[in-house]
Amino acid sequence: MRPTLQLKMGQQLTMTPQLQQAIRLLQLSSLELQQEIQDALDSNPLLDADDPNNIDNESSASENQSDSTESASSDDDSEWSKEEIGANEALESNTISEELPTDSSWDDYMSAAPAPTSTGSSYEGEDTVYQGETTESIQDHLRWQLNLTPFSDEDLAIAEAIVDAIDDKGFLTISTDDIVEAVDLEDVEIEEVEAVLKRIQHFDPIGVATRGLQECLSVQLRHFDDNTPWKNEAIDLIDNYIDLLANRDYRTLLRKAKLKEPELKEILELIQQLNPNPASLVIKDEADYVIPDVSVVKKKGRWIVELNPNSMPKLRINEQYASLTKTSKNANDAQFVRSHLQEAKWFIKSLESRNDTLLKVSNCIVQQQQAFFEYGPEAMKPMVLNDVAEMVDMHESTISRVTTQKYMHTPRGIFELKYFFSSHVSTENGGECSSTAIRALIRKLVAAENQAKPLSDSKIADILAEQGIQVARRTIAKYRESLNIPPSNQRKRLV
């Protein structure tokens, strides 16, 4: 076949690097965005961040320079003369006021992000440098006590094997037979392991190195003073009827333990003072920090959405470096500056696009969910991503990106933007109710229930049906589990 040339016309959608960068920045959380901005500042000399303290520092520096100038002029041996200082200032002024590239505008040099506000005053001499945090595992805490406790070499080896086998909740994860094998010493018997184990169980925190919840609570109770009221009865319930306690089967418990209801209430109050997770006293969960992207305030009867000025720094182009595109005599240097200048412009524009999109979507959410801000979660309206996408004329995937890991600070707390989206449930009168509102109603009903006779899922469904909200029992159970609310038999209490 003879080769020929053919011309075909077609359309193809391509993503420019600028668009890819804008989309990537759009889906970053505030903390991730701050890291991205810092990386851009480190890699691009044409990009600068305005420090809110710069104005004060420059003012202070000017005053100091003025004072030093006066001091220098009054001293015959001064190093700088007035003429030299004046020439120096003129040179600096000329350098800053050099003509900027003609393809730049004023908007290219300033970010759309609002100017940061002061986050609080600092005291003189205050050390604001983060010194780090000391973290300690349960094993470290127990080994510190081992070093303070007199043990024979053999018992110390057993104790170290026990400590190594303790999990993050403080429980022993292996049997005493496994400990005997792990020690790898001759003539080590289980009785010796049990003796060392009992000593460790009375280390701080009390109840550590136990082999389950029952032994953990029993060890803690036995550590109480002998004069503690109802101590022996509580130990009896833990040792013999813990299954009935776990199921809150108080009627059977009263019959088998031969107790009266007031007595059982006193015993349960004592048991509730115990800690089922002893290691929690040593191991602290790391705090998850959230920086709100937007805030909602009510001004003159209207709910106003504002970008959080502290979520990102204010960026600008470095004018001195930008001017080198015309003044540099080296072509490679000029090309380097031009490429980084364009990258800085793209980055600033992408941040502006992110801010505009975030603000537009947040305004739409607030407009649709004003009842939530006025009356709370029970007034939440059903809303899905597509509803907002049509209102702001954007694709649904864009709305998904801009609402993921973005947070809104409101008078009712801090919420992820995803929180305001929920499916709907039809009401009896033909309306719609948000699943978020139903969850809020379930939480409210459970909080107000009689703890001696908690509401079952069927009863909650009946109560909602009386309010015109038709929800199946299994749907109530699903919503209740999503709220981490236990079933009615586990919510029953005598105290």
To 10 degrees, the CA torsion angle through 414, 418, 420, 423?
-150
Mean pLDDT, the chain, whole residue set: 80
Which tokens hold the place of 324?
Answer: 């080198």
CATH of 432-495, one of 3.40.50.720, 1.10.10.60, 1.10.10.10, 1.10.150.120: 1.10.10.60
Domain ranges of the chain: 19-49+287-421, 138-281, 432-495
pTM (predicted TM-score): 0.61
* % the chain with pLDDT above 70: 80
Residue 1 confidence (pLDDT): 62
Give the pLDDT mean for 354-371. 93
Ramachandran angles phi, psi of 493, nearest 5°: -140, 150
76 pLDDT higher than 60: no
Give the pLDDT mean for 355-383. 92
**Cβ contact 158:166 at 8 Å:** no
Confidence band, pLDDT 50/70/90 cuts, at residue 203? very high
Measured N-to-C along each axis, helices 17-26 and 396-403 cross at an angle, to the nearest 10 degrees, of 50
CA atoms within 13 A on the CB side of 143: 12
| Higher-pLDDT residue of 71, 134 | 134
Distance from C-alpha of 206 to C-alpha of 223, rounded to nearest angstrom? 8
Give the pLDDT mean for 319-337. 83
By 3-state DSSP, what share of the chain in percent is helix, strand and coil, each rounded to 5?
Answer: 55, 10, 40
Confidence band, pLDDT 50/70/90 cuts, at residue 422? confident
Distance from C-alpha of 128 to C-alpha of 135, rounded to nearest angstrom? 21
Q: Would you give the DSSP letter of residue 405? A: T
DSSP character string of 1-13: -------------
Confidence band, pLDDT 50/70/90 cuts, at residue 468? confident
27 pLDDT higher than 80: yes
Q: What is the pLDDT of residues 162-199, one digit of tens each?
A: 999 999 899 999 998 899 888 877 788 889 999 999 99
Q: What is the CA radius of gyration of the chain?
A: 34
| Higher-pLDDT residue of 354, 79 | 354
Alpha helix (H) ranges present in 7-134?
17-26, 30-43, 54-74, 82-96
Among 83-87, 388-392, 436-440, name the one with the lowest average pLDDT. 83-87
Give the pLDDT mean for 135-146. 88
Residue 335 confidence (pLDDT): 87
Confidence band, pLDDT 50/70/90 cuts, at residue 123? very low
Distance from C-alpha of 236 to C-alpha of 335, rounded to nearest angstrom? 84
**Cβ contact 275:221 at 8 Å:** no
